Amino acid sequence: MAALYLVVLLLLQCGLLRAAEPQSSEKLNCSPLAGVPGTPGQNGLPGKDGRDGKDGAIGPKGEKGDPGLCERLSVWSVRERGMGARGPPGYPGMRGSPGPKDDSMSLKSEIQQLTTKIALMEKASGFTKFRKVGQKYYVYDGLEDSFDQGIQFCKEAGGTMVLPKDDAENQALLRLSVASGLSGKKVFIGLTDRQREGQFVDLDGQLSNFTKWDLDQPDDYEENDCGTLIVDSGNWDDVGCSDPRPVICEIET
Ligand SMILES: [Ca+2]
Ligand SMILES: [Ca+2]
């Protein structure tokens, strides 16, 4: 409004000046004054989107990112379990103590022992007279024969001709002999000096550690070479091998 008023004033001034100017060719110097700039107009609407530009240059390499989920879980798991990295293999452990005894093997062993005992008892019970001596049986079946026939008989019976190995066995043989009605007789024992006179050995050719010779025996009377037990005294005497005498066998496993 003020600008409009100012313009009007200028126009009136110019009109007055023209009316007062002389009618000559000389003109008044009336230069126009510069106006005040108007207020800027409002911005127009945005133009349409331009075309895509060319691909730019490859940018610099970015910084290393944070560990992924799987890696973080792995690290967490190791921390939770208190485990470090896998170490080198350890030294071999010490040998363990023996385990408990195999019951099945123990049972088999017991059954085997029982079977053996039963077989031995069955063999001994086949004789009319028998006596248990330690782990073996002395058996008698009423046979009276020569020394060699006696050896064969005992072998066929699954045993050997009796030969006491200590005083207890000698007493057992004596009791069986008495119980078998052999008092006053002499029972063959597996001892002979046929191979070397004066040296009595068992049927395996071994010297016996136990002997029970009667007084002044063995005397090799009439070249006697076979041993016997004198029933009643229990002492030993060398007699003829061909004479028929009671044959007692021993059976053991
Ligand atoms: Ca002799
Ligand atoms: Ca004699």
Give whole-number Cα distances, 66 to 71, 177, 186, 251, in Å.
Answer: 10, 106, 111, 92
Number of domains, the chain: 1
Segment 20-56, tens digit of pLDDT: 444 444 444 445 455 677 777 787 787 777 677 677 7
Q: Is residue 24 part of a domain?
A: no
> Which residues have their alpha-adjacent CB atom under 5 A from ion ligand 1?
193, 220, 225
Full domain range(s) for residue 215: 142-252
Spatial contact of 145 and 244, defined as CB atoms under 8 Å apart: yes
- Residue 10, in any domain of the structure: no
Reported as a single tens digit per residue, the pLDDT across 85-144 is 676 787 887 887 776 667 888 999 999 999 988 888 888 888 889 999 998 999 999 999
Looking at the domain assignment, is residue 170 inside a domain?
yes
Distance in Å, CA 238 to ligand 1 centroid: 7
In angstroms, the CA 208 to CA 229 distance is 15
Element (DSSP H or E) covering residue 111: helix 103-125
CATH code at position 199 = 3.10.100.10
What's the distance, CA 61 to chain centroid? 59
Tokens of 198: 């004066």
Nearest ligand for residue 198 CA? 1
Q: Is 198 inside any structural domain?
A: yes
Cα(141)–Cα(114) distance, integer angstroms: 25
Find the 214 Cα to ligand 1 centroid distance in Å.
Answer: 15
Residue 137 inside a domain? The answer is: no
Q: Is residue 224 part of a domain?
A: yes
The verdict on residue 234 lying in a domain is yes
Kindly state whether residue 26 falls inside one of the protein's structural domains: no
Ligand 2 midpoint to CA 194 (Å): 14
